[in-house]
Structure 1
Amino acid sequence: MKSGKNRRWTRRGRRLLLIAFAALAAVMIAMVTAGKADKPSSQTGIVYQMRQDPSRWARTEKDASRMLADIHDKRVAAIGVTLDAILVSTKDGARYFVTDRFAVFSQSLLLNAGKGQSSAPDYQIAWLPNVSIGTQTGLSSLLTVLRDSAGMLPSLLMLVLMLWYMRREMKGDATLLGEPPDMSFDDVIGAGEAKAALEDIKAYLRDPKSFTKMGIRPPCGVLMTGGPGVGKTRLAQALAGECGAHFIAITGSYFSAKYYGAGIQKVKHLFRTARKHSPVVIFIDEADGLAARTNGASGSADAESNRIINQLLAEMDGFEQNEGVILVAATNFPENLDEALRRPGRFDRIVQVRLPDVSDRLKIFEYYLSKLPSRAANIDCDRLARLTVGMSPAALSMIVNQAGLIARKQGASMIDADHLSEAVKVVRIGDVTGAQKSLDAEEVRRVGVHEAGHGIVAALLGAGVLEELTVLPRGGALGMALITKPQDKHLYRRSELEKELMVLLGGRNAEMLVFGEASSGAAQDLQEASRISLEMVSRLGFGSEGNLFSLAALPRDNAGRQIDRAVEQANALLNDINARCFELLERNQSILHEVTLELTRTETVPGAFVYDLIRKRQGVEPLLLDPTINQSAAA
């Protein structure tokens, strides 16, 4: 029992002894800490306080001269170098700090303080990397930060600008319209063939599930071809409007970029955006800007172009489903597109957008004239439609606008028939220039003979409707014979082309008949006549020798070798046509003389004047007169 009690007391004594030692240690630590807080006992203790509680030094700020004076007078006990200040403790217990941004004083003064002295400094220098003194507060602190950041601002702005520009290059400017275009096929005059070809596309965009239920592969793309200004863009907008689809309009050059690989990212971004907002019509205008892939690309530009085409091919019918997305491309040069783009499965439909016919041009004129103040009673839209054979809707719109400009220039408040007739001449040939002032009387007479030759041959052969003859220079021409077609022509017989050649050669032959020699004014006529005759003998089989082989069937390398023989046949054809034209004018020399006199006197002669002269002459073969032409002229 006694031994057990002794063991219990032993354990209790140990516990009491440990508690006593712990209490004693705590008291000693507290006394040491309190003593250090009241007064530093050594330089090491001061440095410790600087590291643990720098707020005591942050209460007082002094300038660098005071610090240097204390160092010189050996009043400094310890120095602590921080990131933005120098903490100083003097031997008499004073504490303060000196602002030292960018370590100017610590490097140039403190670290070199011992140089040139025989003994080390009597104060301690300590590096305090984790200590920061808030040297400024409020507005002064903000101004200091702004001042310090000003040097970095230009570099930061350049970096942000470069990142923004690169991001824009990667994404491009393909943005969806907020609402589908407010258009339909009814708003597009003419283009009936193109509208019919787009019916399947419209049905797919309206109800794509009706195609997938039957297992039918929906159309992927539409390639619109045709001349400039025929309305390809307007048709694409009308397609989107008919289906209530969004419309993205870009050009073929949209995919080109300054940075390698940016074009591919543009393709991906375009289709990703379209799939997200389907149904969508993507319209690529001037699609020939994509060019075609080349074998053995010679540079980075060719390689990048090939990669863009490859990515576009993959997006059109590759690994992604393009449900509700239709790609519509428009180009004037479909042969410049890559063959893989034109195959079925990419561009399923190739739609030819043709020029408007007479009835369509009539409706277009009525549409545009309804938007402007005009005297509709004296405007013959049928005649305007006949005067503008071969013109696009864009050109017709320009004619009406030009008529408004002419009316405004003349001080008229409304557009009438004279303004529209002048506008047709301005658009087809050019505006009246001041060149007539530099022509002498002999040159004006020669121009009159030349234009009279064109007009008389056209009227005699029925190669069109002679509307007007003038010796007033327009554009680059010194005179003009305005000859129009009574209707649109898509097929030409050999006899019709020969009449065209005779009309072109009529001006030169008239000069030869009256003056005995030709002038340089026939240069453009000869160029056009040479083109037509070469087409006749080399492609159309209209040569005098009956050669039916077409040079268009030959590769380009071999076609050049066979052109010499075609040129000889074309020249022979022109000589034959020229002789017939000269003979025709020689038989009607009196008409040529009277028309020339009237032209030099009045400067402008209507076509009806020429037709009246022809009717009065009994020696003219009746078969050369076309009754329909005469009726049109009389009307």
Structure 2
Amino acid sequence: MTFSKRIAGVLAILGAIVLSGCVGSGNAISISLGEAINLSQSNSFSKVAIDTGSGTMSMTVEAQTPIPITDSNGTAATASNGSVLTANIDSLNMADLKSLGFVFPVNTSTNAAASNLTSLLIYLGIPALFILMFIFFARRQAAGGDVAGFGRSGAKLLSPDRPKVTFADVAGVEEAKQDLQEVVEFLKDRAKFQAIGATIPKGVLLVGPPGTGKTLLARALAGEAGVPFFSISGSEFVELFVGVGAARVRSLFSEAKKMAPCIIFIDELDAVGRQRAGNIPGSHEEREQTLNQILVEMDGFDPNIGVIVLAATNRVDVLDQALLRPGRFDRRVTLDRPDTNGRIAILKIHSKGKALAKDVDLELIVKQTHGFSGADLAELMNEAAILAVRRNKKIIGMEELADSIDRVLAGPERKSLAIRPRDKELTAYHEAGHALVARNLPNIDPVLKISIVARGSMGGYTRFLEEDRYFITESQFRSTLATFMAGHAAEQMIFNEVSTGPHGDIKQATDIARKMITEYSMSDKLGFRTYGQTTVQGYLGIGPPETKDYSEDTARQIDDEVRVILENAHDTARKILSENRPRLDHLAGILLTKETLEGPELEKAFTEPITEKPAANPADSTGPTGQSQS
């Protein structure tokens, strides 16, 4: 019998119980207390029942012929032998009714206790019964049953006839594809590996930042292998009731063994595979039982021959070490953000089916997308297509691609935002300061674009043509810090005050300066060591972001060193801006007119002779500033 049928049967029984309590009172005639007293004095009742709990009295008529009565509404009626009449007695008892002249027959009862018990059963018994039923079914399921499908895994089995994703649809992760290609070959030809004594890893863990293609790579593996592919999220194992997650794990592996060779893919493994807390109060017993069952299934007494577990996570640091040991997840495949070649390959894949203009240069676009993940690049191409449609174009041009990069990085344009002239002027000098300092410093990437058009939460931005770097030198850090501090220095020099605009620049600069001291040992004063270590504590990975392993005196020295580095960067920026004040005014003036500078126009603004006189000092104007900048 299914769970739904059982519930329907129980509800039918409960309905019958409730209705049975109403039988006998549904056809009763309500009369006034005075009418009841008159009828009792003529010995018209064979039975009287008083319910003091509800304040009513029920009377059964005994008469040879129908008795004329008047109901509580004043309507004339008749009562025959066996008819039931009711009257409202409020809080009166038998003694009170006798004093009013009511004559009780021999068969008289007071059922207040029974009535209260019935009401209690109706109002409390039914909810309690539902709770007991739910606990019963949960216990049955936890013991290995499958009531209502609680213990079923819920994994999706990919249909063989659905459109397939293959390794050809994945780019920028060539080494990861090579690692997974061996899994495909094993599933297709196990004998070749067994002949030489090789065994394929039981588990493959895909590790990488969000958007780097872990799930896409898993789908590609399913398409290449051509074997049954079970897909489930780690959060789907976790349930409120203890034992449910473990039962789902058993169900999943049981189904997989029947269809071996096959692949089980668990997305977001950290949702269920976090470190166990041991005896720490507040540990999640259900999550731990589920994890224990996964550990047993992956490397227990009963080997899963032909079942390969593929999992993905971006929080490998919080996973239980028992999951990561050889024999469970034997192979770790790391996916990182793609380099230049990888981004070109990814853009070519996502540009398929899109009408691109002949002048579109994907290599130039790639140089502007440093740090983009595969998901970011997919969004970039889609945003460019949407912009082309919005502009009533039939092809996607470089303009749409460039705008979509800004949209992904900073958000949509906010041209309708009402900005005061003074705030707009402040933004122009702020961004011109960034660009001019970067132009005059070594080790800084070329300035690609300057804009004072608000995007997202930024009032303006300066974008650079960044290169892929794997190492950063101290001189590069110091040049970067001076560029960050240039917006603040420009505002201070031109307006004799600063706004809230540079807060984002100062925060980034402070983070870099602190890392230079505490992580990269770029301080002669503090020597060659690191200060503080990042830790993840507790079952849920909740804990202090950093553990101090140094004294308070050292902490003061670190603060002093960070302040010195930032002050030097600010001084460098201010010196460059002072020496190039006419160029700063020139850049700001052009930005106020055109709002955006890039390409040849930007290069011309940096190099063309300045013939006009510098603009009047904007500090002469008055009024507070508050527009947030980059």
Give, in angstroms, the shift of residue 545 of structure 1: 2.2
Query: 1:298 aligned to 272, 281, 284, which one?
Result: 281
| Structure 2 partner of 1:173 | 154
Report if aligned partners of 1:544, 1:573 keep a CA contact under 8 Å in 2: no
> The residue matched to 1:329 in structure 2 has which SS?
strand
Letter in 1 for 2:425: R
Query: How far apart, in 2, do the equivalents of 1:558 and 1:520 lie?
Result: 31
Deviations 1:290-325 (A, max 9, x none): 2221111535x6122211111111111112211211
> The residue matched to 2:263 in structure 1 has which SS?
strand
Query: How far apart, in 1, do the equivalents of 2:594 and 2:255 lie?
Result: 65
Report if aligned partners of 2:206, 2:332 keep a CA contact under 8 Å in 1: yes
Q: TM-score, normalised by structure 2?
A: 0.69
Letter in 1 for 2:204: V
Give, in angstroms, the shift of residue 218 of structure 1: 2.9
> The residue matched to 2:266 in structure 1 has which SS?
strand
Report if aligned partners of 1:467, 1:608 keep a CA contact under 8 Å in 2: no
Report if aligned partners of 2:240, 2:286 keep a CA contact under 8 Å in 1: no
Report if aligned partners of 2:153, 2:249 keep a CA contact under 8 Å in 1: no
Matched ranges for 1:315-334 at <5 A: 315-334=297-316
Per the alignment, do residues 553 and 219 of structure 1 end up closer, same or farther by CA in structure 2, a change over 3 Å counting? same
Report if aligned partners of 2:170, 2:346 keep a CA contact under 8 Å in 1: no
Query: 2:445 aligned to 450, 459, 464, which one?
Result: 464
The answer to whether 1:338 aligns with 2:320 is yes
Query: How far apart, in 1, do the equivalents of 2:436 and 2:489 lie?
Result: 12
Report if aligned partners of 1:544, 1:569 keep a CA contact under 8 Å in 2: no
The answer to whether 1:580 aligns with 2:572 is yes
Query: 2:217 aligned to 235, 259, 262, which one?
Result: 235
Gaps of 5+ in 2: 1-81, 84-105, 107-128, 536-545, 611-630
> The residue matched to 1:293 in structure 2 has which SS?
coil
| Structure richer in helix, relative to its length | 1
Give, in angstroms, the shift of residue 161 of structure 1: 11
Deviations 1:73-114 (A, max 9, x none): xxxxxxxxxxxxxxxxxxxxxxxxxxxxxxxxxxx99xxxxx
| Structure 2 partner of 1:225 | 207
| Structure 1 partner of 2:435 | 455
The answer to whether 1:558 aligns with 2:538 is no
The answer to whether 1:525 aligns with 2:517 is no
The answer to whether 1:493 aligns with 2:493 is no
Report if aligned partners of 1:459, 1:611 keep a CA contact under 8 Å in 2: no
Give, in angstroms, the shift of residue 596 of structure 1: 0.3
Give, in angstroms, the shift of residue 336 of structure 1: 0.9
| Structure 1 partner of 2:388 | 407
- Between the two proteins, the alignment pairs up a number of residues equal to 464
Report if aligned partners of 1:552, 1:559 keep a CA contact under 8 Å in 2: yes
> The residue matched to 1:284 in structure 2 has which SS?
strand
| Structure 2 partner of 1:594 | 586
| Structure 2 partner of 1:90 | none
Report if aligned partners of 1:297, 1:303 keep a CA contact under 8 Å in 2: no
Per the alignment, do residues 546 and 560 of structure 1 end up closer, same or farther by CA in structure 2, a change over 3 Å counting? closer
Deviations 1:350-401 (A, max 9, x none): 11101122222223223322312232x1212111111111101111111111
The answer to whether 1:267 aligns with 2:258 is no
Query: How far apart, in 2, do the equivalents of 1:365 and 1:529 lie?
Result: 32
Per the alignment, do residues 514 and 257 of structure 1 end up closer, same or farther by CA in structure 2, a change over 3 Å counting? same
Query: How far apart, in 1, do the equivalents of 2:396 and 2:599 lie?
Result: 23
Deviations 1:463-490 (A, max 9, x none): 12312111111000011112231x3122
| Structure 2 partner of 1:547 | 527
Moved more, 600-609 or 396-405: 600-609
Query: How far apart, in 2, do the equivalents of 1:205 and 1:325 lie?
Result: 9
> The residue matched to 1:514 in structure 2 has which SS?
helix
Query: How far apart, in 2, do the equivalents of 1:569 and 1:496 lie?
Result: 18
Query: How far apart, in 2, do the equivalents of 1:502 and 1:576 lie?
Result: 8
Query: How far apart, in 2, do the equivalents of 1:380 and 1:295 lie?
Result: 56
Give, in angstroms, the shift of residue 215 of structure 1: 3.8
Query: How far apart, in 2, do the equivalents of 1:606 and 1:319 lie?
Result: 65
Query: 2:173 aligned to 171, 184, 191, which one?
Result: 191
Matched ranges for 1:130-209 at <5 A: 166-179=147-160, 182-209=164-191
Query: How far apart, in 2, do the equivalents of 1:564 and 1:546 lie?
Result: 11
Give, in angstroms, the shift of residue 504 of structure 1: 1.0
Letter in 2 for 1:571: R
Letter in 2 for 1:464: D
Report if aligned partners of 2:430, 2:488 keep a CA contact under 8 Å in 1: yes
Q: TM-score, normalised by structure 1?
A: 0.68
> The residue matched to 1:490 in structure 2 has which SS?
coil
Letter in 2 for 1:451: E
Report if aligned partners of 1:284, 1:329 keep a CA contact under 8 Å in 2: yes
> The residue matched to 1:530 in structure 2 has which SS?
helix
Report if aligned partners of 1:282, 1:326 keep a CA contact under 8 Å in 2: yes
Give, in angstroms, the shift of residue 560 of structure 1: 7.5
Give, in angstroms, the shift of residue 442 of structure 1: 1.1
Per the alignment, do residues 466 and 576 of structure 1 end up closer, same or farther by CA in structure 2, a change over 3 Å counting? same
Query: How far apart, in 2, do the equivalents of 1:552 and 1:340 lie?
Result: 27
| Structure 2 partner of 1:625 | none
Matched ranges for 1:308-387 at <5 A: 308-375=290-357, 377-387=358-368
Report if aligned partners of 1:212, 1:218 keep a CA contact under 8 Å in 2: no
Give, in angstroms, the shift of residue 459 of structure 1: 2.2
Deviations 1:164-216 (A, max 9, x none): 99433211311322218723322211201212333432332223334444444
Deviations 1:238-272 (A, max 9, x none): 22322222222211212101222110001111111
Matched ranges for 1:68-147 at <5 A: none
Query: How far apart, in 2, do the equivalents of 1:298 and 1:213 lie?
Result: 51
What root-mean-square deviation, in Å, do the aligned CA atoms of Structure 1 and Structure 2 show? 2.9
Per the alignment, do residues 432 and 341 of structure 1 end up closer, same or farther by CA in structure 2, a change over 3 Å counting? same
> The residue matched to 1:481 in structure 2 has which SS?
strand
| Structure 1 partner of 2:65 | none
| Structure 1 partner of 2:68 | none
Query: How far apart, in 2, do the equivalents of 1:455 and 1:393 lie?
Result: 29
| Structure 2 partner of 1:445 | 425
Report if aligned partners of 1:456, 1:610 keep a CA contact under 8 Å in 2: no
Deviations 1:511-552 (A, max 9, x none): 122122221100000111111111111011112425211125
Query: How far apart, in 1, do the equivalents of 2:527 and 2:590 lie?
Result: 45
| Structure 1 partner of 2:373 | 392
Query: How far apart, in 2, do the equivalents of 1:404 and 1:479 lie?
Result: 24
Query: How far apart, in 2, do the equivalents of 1:416 and 1:276 lie?
Result: 52
> The residue matched to 1:250 in structure 2 has which SS?
strand
Query: How far apart, in 2, do the equivalents of 1:567 and 1:203 lie?
Result: 56
Query: How far apart, in 2, do the equivalents of 1:320 and 1:565 lie?
Result: 59
Query: How far apart, in 2, do the equivalents of 1:421 and 1:261 lie?
Result: 53
Query: How far apart, in 2, do the equivalents of 1:169 and 1:523 lie?
Result: 51
Report if aligned partners of 1:435, 1:478 keep a CA contact under 8 Å in 2: no
Report if aligned partners of 1:444, 1:600 keep a CA contact under 8 Å in 2: yes
Query: 1:280 aligned to 247, 262, 266, which one?
Result: 262
